[in-house]
Chains A and B, each alone.
Chain A
Amino acid sequence: MKLHVNGTETFISTGGRDFDASANTLIFIHGSGQSHLSFMLQGRFFANRGWSVLAPDMPAHGLSSGTPLTSIAQMADWHIALMDELGVKTANIIGHSQGGLIALDLAARYPDRVTGLSLVACALAIPVNDALLDMAKNREPAAIGAMTDWGHGPDGHAHDHTMPGQNHLNYGVQMMSANETGALYADLQACVDYTDGPTAAAQIKCPTQVIVATRDKMTPIKFGLKLADALGTTDITTIQNAGHMLPSERPTEVNRAIRPFFAQV
């Protein structure tokens, strides 16, 4: 569905079901340079199991208009504005990668709006090396190529997909290329600038879970486990032999971890 958030036309995938604000809401927040499509194999799954699903494209991403947001706090505020627009008082949040930082910040600053938090392939901070940042700014296709490469684990590089016939790496490149030019750089710079992770984690009171991958090159597992430690959660799912793009590469394991967690929240 499309609606205006802060005056910008915004696309929100609802997993193929009409959105119902009175139902238990799951908000999926995408990562740097991604879109709602990174949750292609979560949206319909959860929408058909009783949850109201919201997987928005942030401004300048996917099918949304506008200019990119430039800080994690702005992005968190934007998601609150989206909830307000839809009349969603509280929601469960799933954040992938940078989306996890946004979720962390959102849950810390708006504790009354978040009932549960699932952080997938995330960390307390996501530093970005200068070379990638430079590429994102000046040679975006190269940055997209590099991130697609580093972001995928053995399944992606074996060109093996749970959806018969599909291809992770090439899909990832096309999905990221569909965003507005400059969106990726803005996202990565926002990650670089965000240093409030430890503080935010200490403030969070709602139930949390962390899902990590053993072959994650972008948010290595040790940083995911530090995040879990800072959150004080023992709900940790470690997915073996998987890369950073967990929601698309290992949808079954991710959904299997998320579902019982939010069922009891």
Chain B
Amino acid sequence: MTGDFKFDTLSLHAGFTPDARHGSAAVPIHQTTSYAFQDTEHAAALFNLEVGGHIYSRISNPTVAVLEQRVAALDGGIGAVATSSGMAALFLTVMALCSAGDHIVSSSQMYGANVNLFQHTLSRYGITTTFVAPNDPQAFADAIQPNTKMVFGEVIGNPGMDILDVPAIGKIANDAGVPLVIDATFNTPYLLKPLHNGANIVIHSLTKWMGGHGIALGGAIVDGGNFDWGQNDRFPTLTSPHFGFQGVNLYEEYGPAAFITRVRTEGMYNVGPCMSPTNAFHLIQGIETLGLRMERHMANTAKMLDFLTNHEGISWVKHPTLPDHPDHEVAKRLMPKGAGSVIACGIKGGRDAGRAFIENVQVATHLANVGDAKTLVIHPGSTTHSHITPEAMVAAGLTDDLLRISVGLEDFDDIKSDFKQALRAASKVGA
């Protein structure tokens, strides 16, 4: 490792140097679409990838670049591209690696939109996916085909909290000449840096814990630079001449940065799910306190687990730090500081009791998000996963009584009091 700054220092400083002209201490919001060229030669140099700089904010922007550089530093990546959302990050990753006729191996236990993208959207464009259980490494190995271009999974599956054994799956993928792409939204680099544990590319929904405030959507793709794209002929998008930029061969000219350069020079150029400078600014403010917040998230989650497992109104509690979780040992090995702040639990009384609980909480908020500083609650079966077929719901471990709790940073005494009164109200409905 390099003698790099530590996590909390990087969270506050990485990617930003105060500009010489104004010396702004805070990262300025460069609210502009375009950038004045110094002269025609400068413009040509930018368009030919000869020099660094900005052309148009769909492709890059100084404020967004600070965020990208900060996230890359925190994750240990060689570069990052920020996107308008986490879903855009996943789509651009697939687009940079896959073409019609290609194949993906993916965990089956994931956020519904991730599943839908693979199963229903990409399949229309000739990209197929084999879904396998996240805790079955051999299933990943068996599913890899000659046309497989990426193996994909979430470190902490949403909403079932299955834990992906990243080093094991990474070795399987890399041994087969395929990169491991990880959705690290639920863990953040504070709990686990997948790129240091066998993964090659990380995507984030920055909307969640990274930002933490719930005021700005955003995503990021982080390139580990640790996959040899030229080891086989699977990745022509990176090892053959690019359709633009004078036919540049990204693998030869940018080496470890071939993938992330393709994302910017194709994904942002031709699709354009860019992040607004203002959102980047907001997300940077959130990341400044990521370490502190995650510490508190983990502390409050531990208290919440203690409360729920001892409450008579709760029939079961699922979280990877609990010894009865099937992936407990993997979680303990990979994430000793905690396995995220989302808890799944079953409320006695089923669907009606669940609805009553959610409608009675006062401190916690009922919404379709996770990772806010505030405690959030939702009933996945009737909201986030309502569009998934009943069979797929069962496969994803969803039941009518399931409550998903995203534990926030409030004083835990207040959350506990709130949950107590809401559970009391729910017990009257479910009785």
Contact = CB atoms under 8 A, between A and B. Distances in A.
Given A166-B72, A167-B79, A175 B255 contact: yes
Given A149-B4, A158-B14, A170-B77, A165 B252 contact: no
B69 A11 contact: no
29 contacts: A11-B252, A37-B254, A37-B255, A48-B44, A48-B50, A145-B1, A146-B2, A157-B4, A159-B14, A160-B69, A162-B51, A163-B52, A163-B79, A164-B54, A164-B62, A164-B65, A165-B68, A165-B82, A166-B69, A166-B78, A167-B77, A170-B72, A170-B76, A170-B225, A174-B225, A174-B226, A175-B225, A178-B228, A178-B255
Q: How large is the interface on B (under 10, 10 to 19, 20 to 34, 35 or more residues)?
A: 35 or more
A166 B256 CA distance: 11
A43 interface: yes
B143 interface: no
A158 B16 contact: yes
Interface string A163-193: 1111101111111011000000000000000
B252 A63 contact: yes
B264 A165 contact: yes
B48 interface: yes
B252 A159 contact: no
A243 interface: no
A158 B13 contact: yes
Given A16-B248, A170-B78, A178-B255, A148 B2 contact: yes
What is the interface of chain A mostly: helix, strand, loop, or mixed?
helix
Given A16-B48, A150-B3, 9 more contacts: A37-B256, A43-B253, A63-B230, A155-B17, A160-B69, A165-B60, A165-B68, A165-B72, A171-B225
B81 to A, nearest CB: 6
Q: Which 7 pairs show the lowest CB-CB distances between chains A and B?
A: A162-B52, A165-B68, A174-B225, A164-B65, A164-B60, A149-B3, A174-B256
A164 B252 contact: no
Interface string A235-262: 0000000000000000110010000000
A160 B255 contact: no
B100 interface: no
Nearest to B1: A145
A170 B14 CA distance: 13
B246 interface: yes
Nearest to B14: A159
A169 B16 contact: no
A159 B52 contact: no
Nearest to A2: B252
B395 interface: no
Contact of A13 (B76, B77, B252): B252
Nearest to A173: B2
A159 B77 CA distance: 11
B267 to A, nearest CB: 12
- Best-buried of B2, B4, B254 by chain A (most CB within 10 Å): B2
B121 to A, nearest CB: 26
Nearest to A155: B17
Contact of B50 (A45, A62, A150): A45
